[in-house]
Chain A
Amino acid sequence: GAVVSQHPSRVICKSGTSVKIECRSLDFQATTMFWYRQFPKKSLMLMATSNEGSKATYEQGVEKDKFLINHASLTLSTLTVTSAHPEDSSFYICSAIRAGRAYNEQFFGPGTRLTVL
């Protein structure tokens, strides 16, 4: 159990367009999901914490108007990159916390490769 999926796995878009990435917990309910960004050969940087039914909490330096996060249900969170530019090209990874556990282990999705031309 504890499988997290992301869709799409990779996307190429033109500069100025918006892209939506979905993160789903397939076999458990996730009250909290996280969005990370990973640059080539770099570590994961936490962008925001997404709680079901409330506004996301963004990390310092992350533009909330550019990276829109919606956690509409206990199994789905979406990240929308608005007016994407080439510098937004990156690997985006989500994770989810399984509700009811004694500690907050995060289960990671397979990632989405975004390329903005």
Chain B
Amino acid sequence: AQSVTQLDSQVPVFEEAPVELRCNYSSSVSVYLFWYVQYPNQGLQLLLKYLSGSTLVKGINGFEAEFNKSQTSFHLRKPSVHISDTAEYFCAVNTDKLIFGTGTRLQVFP
């Protein structure tokens, strides 16, 4: 069975600082990996995805993530965050279903 672990439930950070949101997964088969962002009372917006190929994936809003097969990780990074990046971030793995992590609340302070 597949599973996704987001160890950090909350990540507070000051504006313009770098941030990393951690995601680890477990799967016995090849997977597709995703990061989604959810703003309050809204649905999910795709930030980026890894399907195959280059392990460094660039997404929208300046985010990027690196697929590390040996460490079964897909951490999300941004070199300089904005206040507007405050939101809930979900990592997900997809084989036949989309399995979500528990989410990380990114709080950016001025």
In A80-117, the 8 Å CB interface with B consists of: 91, 93, 95, 103-106, 108-111, 113
Secondary structure class of chain A's binding surface, majority of residues: strand
Inter-chain CA distance A34–B44, complex, in Å, is 13
A44 to B43: give the CA distance in the assembly, Å.
10
Given known pairs A104-B94, A105-B49, the reply for A93 and B41 (CB within 8 Å) is no
Contact residues, B56-110 vs A (CB, 8 A):
90, 94, 97-98, 100-103, 105
The answer on a CB contact under 8 Å between B94 and A110 is no
State how many residues of chain A have any CB contact under 8 Å with chain B. Answer: 21
Q: Does B54 make an interface contact (CB < 8 A)?
A: no
User: CB distance B98 to A106 under 8 Å?
Assistant: yes
Q: Counting CB contacts under 8 A, is B14 at the interface?
A: no
The chain B residue sitting closest to A6, CB to CB, is: B43
* Contact across chains for A46 and B98 when beta carbons are under 8 A apart: yes
How far, in whole Å, are A106 and B102 apart by their CA atoms in the complex?
18
Cβ contacts A to B, 7 pairs, < 8 Å = A41-B103, A42-B103, A43-B90, A93-B43, A105-B46, A108-B45, A111-B43
Given contacts A103-B51, A111-B41, 17 further A-B contacts (CB under 8 A): A34-B98, A42-B102, A42-B103, A43-B90, A43-B100, A46-B98, A91-B41, A93-B43, A95-B44, A95-B98, A103-B94, A104-B94, A105-B49, A106-B98, A108-B43, A110-B42, A110-B43
- A residues sitting closer than 8 Å to B (CB atoms) are 4, 6, 34, 41-44, 46, 49, 91, 93, 95, 103-106, 108-111, 113
